[in-house]
Every structure is written in C-alpha cells, then in structure tokens.
Amino acid sequence: MTKPIAILCLVVMPGAVWAQNPSPRATADTADVTPAVGPSWLLRRGLFMAEASLGRIGDMGHAESAPAAAANWPWSALQDRWLLNGGDLYRLNCRSCHNAEGTGLPPEINSVLDPVRAASAPLLQRRMEERGRPIDAKTARELAGQAEANLRKRLHDGGEKMPALPHLRASEVEAILAYLGHLAGVPETQRWEARIALTDAQVGQHIVKGTCQICHDAAGSGNYAGRGASGKLIPSLLTIVETRSVLDVIRKVHTGSASRDPARGEMPLFPYLNDQEIGAAYAYLVTRPPRAEPVQ
C-alpha cells in the first residue's frame, strides 16, 4: 500500500534560490513572529560599517573554509521545537556587539555587566559599603529595582547605538536577564539554564533582528559599508535570499568575507551560530519576506 505524501504549503518569494533540496516548511504563524522591516540599525543611527564595531565583534577576519556544512542542506534538520536557555538567547541577540563575556568594546559598546550588577540589591549594598557610603537594605532594593527597570526598557527600546529588541517575549527577557546576572556574578541569579520552547520561525527572528539587521537593510538594494561610495555594498536581507541559496548563506556566515578583494564588504565571522540556526534564519526570511518601512 502506498503511503500518503504530505504536501507543505509555503510562501515563496519570486526568484528565491534553492540548493537542490526541498523548500523549508512553513511553521505555524504566530503573532510574535513578524518580518524584518526597514533599514539596518547602522543606517538608522547614521553610521557606516567602517565607522562602527556594532554587530562585528563576535569574530572579525576571514576563514579559508567553512566547517562541514552538508553538501545538500537537509531542511528536515530544522527542529519542530527548539529548547533554548538564556545563554542561547543572549548569543543570538546580543553577542555580536557585547561579545561572549558581556564586556562589549568600550567606549563605543558598553559592558552590560555593571548595569546588571546595579540591579542586584545585595551587590549594590556591598559596593556602597566598599565605597564608605553604606545604604540600608530597603534603599538598596529600591535602587536595584530602578536599575532593573532601566535594563528592561533598554532591551525593548534600545539606546543611542543599541538596537531595540521588541521581538523578545517576556519569558525570553527573563531568561536573558538571568544569564546576564550569571555573567556578572550576581549571587542570587537562578534559572538562566531553564529551557524555553521556540519554533523555527522564532529562532530565525532572533538571529535576523538581533544580529543580521544591525548591518543589513531588510529590503532594497542595500547600503554601502563606508563613506565616499567605496563600492562595499551590504546587500539587503531580501536580496540575499532572492539570490543566494541556504548553503551559500551558511558558508558566508562561517567564513566571513568571501574574498580579500578590498572592494568587497567585510562580513564578520559567526562561528557561534550552527548550521541549523542559520538555516532557521534563512527559512524565516523566506516564509516572512523582509520589507521596506511603509511610506508615512
């Protein structure tokens, strides 16, 4: 008896390139997964890639070859359900600017550790005692509460140079804050290792909005990496999935700049993203096509 064949219904962009393998499955649409929209964060802040380290301090340079990516990308490798902890969410959303230790690259990119320590009443009380200006427990709790509120606002709204991350769900914010507490040595930090269930689309959204869109516009032809029309074009996310296969993107993410030609853009390396995560980002871009900001 012949087994029935399941047919997947996908939203596929005209001109999208596939690497001789089945298209990505369409995961269930959820209200908290929306397309990438508008210009890159660098462009929003009037910066060029050559002028900033934002999104680039995970690993700059050029790798001669990618780690073993499959010859034919198996879309079946994408998981029905991902279980990520606070460290994973930090890695997908924050590490490309603040690095693995959370220390950033001062003075351009601030460390996240001291603001997190300021949100801990015990650490705040200890610090004030060391400075010879002791405060009582109630005052410490009030000041720590204000510092935590500022942290939460910064995660949602961004800052002068920090991208806004409104796509983070409440449970994800809690997990990231717990992980930041772990990095900062906050004594009462707990549960940053607790796992949160996500879909492929949610994982892809984290990577694209938390990392890729720092430098890449959502749609259009893209923007230049430096002033003076240097020719170093940073393609838009829409252009990438319309012209590159998922294998091309996996290799690019792992190897950085594909050429030492000075006219080529300086793509950072992201060795801390695995093939499945990059595939999830690509599938998210295909099933939820990036778009320009609506004309006001």
Alpha-carbon radius of gyration of the chain: 21
Domain end (from 171, 198, 225): 198
Claim to verify: residue 88 and residue 191 sit in the same structural domain: yes
Nearest CA-CA partner of 207 in 292, 277, 152: 277
Residue 71 above 90 pLDDT? no
Any idea what DSSP says for residue 2?
Answer: P
Per-residue pLDDT of 101-114, as tens digits, reads: 999 999 999 999 99
Task: Answer with the one of 178, 198, 218 that is the final residue of a domain.
Answer: 198
Q: Cβ–Cβ contacts within 10 Å for residue 66, how many?
A: 17
Q: What per-residue string of b and e applies to 265-293 under the rule 16 or more CB within 10 Å gives b?
A: bbbbbbeebbbbbbbbbbbbbbbbbbeee
Q: Are residues 100 and 191 in the same domain?
A: yes
Range of the domain at 128: 82-198
My answer on whether 214 and 290 are in the same domain is yes
> What's the CATH number where 73 sits?
1.10.760.10
Identify whether residues 70 and 208 lie together within a single domain.
yes
Angle among Cα 202, 207, 211 to the nearest 5 degrees reads 150
Q: Verify that 158 and 213 share a domain, yes or no.
A: no
Chain center to CA of 1? 47
**Can you give the CATH number for the domain in which 191 is found?**
1.10.760
In this structure, are 71 and 172 located in the same domain? no
Q: Are residues 110 and 214 in the same domain?
A: no
Calculated CA dihedral for residues 110, 292, 19, 22, nearest 10 degrees: 110
| Mean pLDDT score, 107-130 | 93
Contact 192, 179 (CB under 8 A): yes
Q: Are residues 92 and 194 in the same domain?
A: yes
Q: Which helix or strand (DSSP H or E) is residue 284 part of?
A: helix 275-287
Could you report the per-residue pLDDT of 17-37, keeping only the tens digit for each? 434 344 555 444 466 899 999
Of 148-157, 220-229, 247-256, 269-278, which has the strongest mean pLDDT?
148-157
Of 182, 198, 214, which residue constitutes the final position of a domain? 198
**63 shares its domain with 99:** no
Give yes or no: residues 89 and 75 share one domain.
Answer: no
Give the mean model confidence (pLDDT) for residues 176-194. 84
Q: Which of 248, 265, 115 is nearest to 180 (CA)?
A: 115
What percentage of the chain reaches a pLDDT higher than 90? 59
Measured CA to CA, the distance from residue 269 to residue 72 in angstroms comes to: 22
The backbone region for 144, taken as left when phi is positive above 0, alpha when psi lies in -120 to 50, beta otherwise, is alpha
68 and 108 share a domain? no
What is the rounded average pLDDT of the residues 193-197?
88
d(CA 158, CA 141): 25
Q: What is the pLDDT of residue 4?
A: 37
What total number of domains does the chain contain?
2
59 shares a domain with 145: no
